[in-house]
Amino acid sequence: MSSEKTNQSWGGRFSEPVDAFVARFTASVDFDKRLYRHDILGSQAHARMLTQTGVLSEAERDAIVAGLDEIRREIEAGTFEWRVDLEDVHMNIEARLTERLGVVGKKLHTGRSRNDQVATDIRLWLRDEIDAILAELNRLQQGLLQLAEAEADTIMPGFTHLQTAQPVTFGHHLLAWFEMLSRDHERLVDCRKRVNRMPLGSAALAGTTYPIQRQVTCELLGFEAIGGNSLDGVSDRDFAIEFCAAASLAMMHLSRFSEELVLWTSAQFQFIDLPDRFCTGSSIMPQKKNPDVPELVRGKTGRVFGALTGLLTLMKGQPLAYNKDNQEDKEPLFDAADTLRDSLRAFADMVPAIKPRREIMREAARRGFSTATDLADYLVRKGLPFRDCHEIVGHAVKYGVDSGKDLAEMSLDELRRFSDQIEQDVFAVLTLEGSVNARDHIGGTAPAQVRAAVKRGLELLAKR
Ligand code: ARG
């Protein structure tokens, strides 16, 4: 007989209650209670299935389903009392159900274990999170396309090594971010397929002796497939790791994006303005307007990388099947999902509000010899080998640096000092518009190509 003081769910073989600190140390309810909605959905599907196979009566099923609905309402109303001595979300809900229904409540756990229960809950929860994340991602991509369309003709310097390289259009630059986010979307959609496989029915590790019909619960819960091995079913956390890997890449992209926004809003660049509502001031320097949102997103990226590393490390030493270690999967996973979702939301709100300072961008592109490659290409078209052209233009740039003149500011006579192949038509090539318009192929920076890419992007979003 279990003593009064041992745990009511598993105290049967214990002769003394668990140490008070150990009870707190091993409990997960403080963080896994956020799985309550999915835990209840899983339990209701399980009870329905057990009725179809004759394990529970219809009256028992109805009492369990209604009782769980009532518990969900209690939780949402804030009247549910979460108890640390009941360890986790699963036992808290089951204990409350038994309190309400008596012996019927105790039948719910037939043919099931917390091991397959928790694995099911996390997958159901993550599936919903991925859908919410994809919606924010979509919103952000929509905003990027809109801005890219509006800025298809806006010229700015393109950089390599953060040094002015060649002129590009701002629309083209924005679409580079769109491209990264499209890959993130693909990765999350693909990851969702492996999240959406059902471990329920694996029971503790070996399956169950009760007549269960896993196709029934699979269909009720909207899983795409049933996990094919019970040992793997209770212990697999690949789906969580995959999600964190996809989330890490997405955060890395947002972090790079953030870095550019931070640079561009600085007094040194002044390429863009962010509206005040996305910035904060300084308590000591009255002139300051800080780009806190991008800075914070850049900073939060580390948490998501940490979650990925944490989960990989959590799994690497575990023998089959379930081990208590797995309880440590939740906090990093929750944090990674929250961080990505909030960061995407902030960006989706902020991007359409970016105000480019077109004159400053243009002026920056005009300076810094950004059309030097165009001059070299011009000489190639006149029949010179590219390496010689590179050399000739190098001399012209050196002269420009010494005399404080950009290439387009030199006279024809000055330019002809470096090659007699240079003629009046060179000035069309040295203009910023000439330079961007010349890169007129799929993936190039020409305004016409930016518009075509926006169109392709809109088609992609419409297909989702
Ligand atoms: N709270 C546990 C977890 O998060 C639930 C499963 C517990 N299973 C067990 N055999 N102790 O993993």
- Catalytic residue, from 3, 57, 282, 403: name it: 282
3-state SS assignment for residue 356: strand
The answer to whether 244 and 191 have CB atoms below 8 angstroms apart is no
Q: What angle do CA 298, 300, 305 make, to 5 degrees?
A: 100
Quick one: which of 344, 154, 380 has its CA closest to 251?
344
Residue 10 has pLDDT above 70, yes or no: yes
Predicted confidence at residue 77, as pLDDT, reads 98
Q: Which residues contact 397 (CB under 8 A, 6 or more apart)?
A: 369, 372, 407
**Residue 15 is a catalytic residue:** no
Residue 3 has pLDDT above 50, yes or no: no
The answer to whether 344 and 251 have CB atoms below 8 angstroms apart is no
Cβ of 20: how many Cβ atoms within 10 Å?
10
Buried b (16+ CB within 10 A) or exposed e, 112-131: bbbbbbbbbbbbbbbbebbe
Which of the 8 DSSP states describes residue 193? Answer: H
Q: In this predicted model, which residue has the larger pLDDT, 3 or 432?
A: 432
The arithmetic mean of pLDDT across residues 211-230, rounded, is 98
Predicted confidence at residue 404, as pLDDT, reads 92
Which of 35, 88, 237, 314 for mutating ligand 1's site (highest number of atoms within 8 Å of CB)?
A: 88
pLDDT mean across residues, the chain: 96
Residue 1 has pLDDT above 80, yes or no: no
Which of the 8 DSSP states describes residue 214? Answer: H
Task: Give the tokens for residue 221.
Answer: 């819960």
Residue 5 has pLDDT above 70, yes or no: no
pLDDT tens, residue by residue, 335-365: 999 999 999 999 999 999 999 999 999 999 9
| Ligand 1 mean position, distance from CA 137 (Å) | 33
CA separation, residue 366 to residues 164, 167, 302, 372, 446 (Å): 10, 8, 37, 11, 17
Cβ of 225: how many Cβ atoms within 10 Å?
11
CA distance 435 to 80: 67
Task: Give the tokens for residue 405.
Answer: 């003149």
Task: Give the tokens for residue 76.
Answer: 């949402």
Percentage of residues of the chain with pLDDT beyond 70: 99
3-state secondary structure 7-58: CCCCHHHCCCCCCHHHHHHHCCHHHHHHHHHHHHHHHHHHHHHHHHCCCCCH
Alpha-carbon torsion, ordered 304, 309, 314, 315, to 10 deg = 110
The arithmetic mean of pLDDT across residues 146-161, rounded, is 98
Q: 């990388």: which residue's tokens?
A: 305
Protein residue with least CA distance to atom 3, ligand 1: 327
**Residue 57 is a catalytic residue:** no
CA separation, residue 31 to residues 88, 115, 177, 325, 327 (Å): 9, 17, 34, 15, 10
Atom index in ligand 1 nearest the CA of residue 322 equals 10
Integer Rg of the chain from CA: 31
Protein residue with least CA distance to atom 11, ligand 1: 324
Which of 117, 118, 235, 236 for mutating ligand 1's site (highest number of atoms within 8 Å of CB)?
A: 118
Protein residue with least CA distance to atom 2, ligand 1: 327
Which pLDDT band, with edges at 50, 70 and 90, does 87 fall under? very high
pLDDT tens, residue by residue, 30-84: 999 999 999 999 999 999 999 999 999 999 999 999 999 999 999 999 999 999 9
User: What is the bridge-based pairing of β-strands 272-273 and 197-198?
Assistant: unpaired
Bridge partners of 273, per DSSP, are: 355
CA distance 109 to 47: 9
Predicted confidence at residue 162, as pLDDT, reads 96
| Ligand 1 mean position, distance from CA 16 (Å) | 21
The answer to whether 170 and 155 have CB atoms below 8 angstroms apart is yes
Alpha-carbon torsion, ordered 214, 220, 226, 230, to 10 deg = -50
Residue 118 in contact with ligand 1 by CB distance below 6 A: yes
Quick one: which of 355, 147, 137, 321 has its CA closest to 235?
321
User: DSSP characters for 145-178?
Assistant: HHHHHHTTT-EEEEEETTEEEEEEEHHHHHHHHH
Residue 114 in contact with ligand 1 by CB distance below 6 A: yes
The answer to whether 234 and 119 have CB atoms below 8 angstroms apart is yes
CA distance 430 to 416: 14
Residue 4 has pLDDT above 90, yes or no: no
- Catalytic residue, from 161, 283, 411, 441: name it: 161
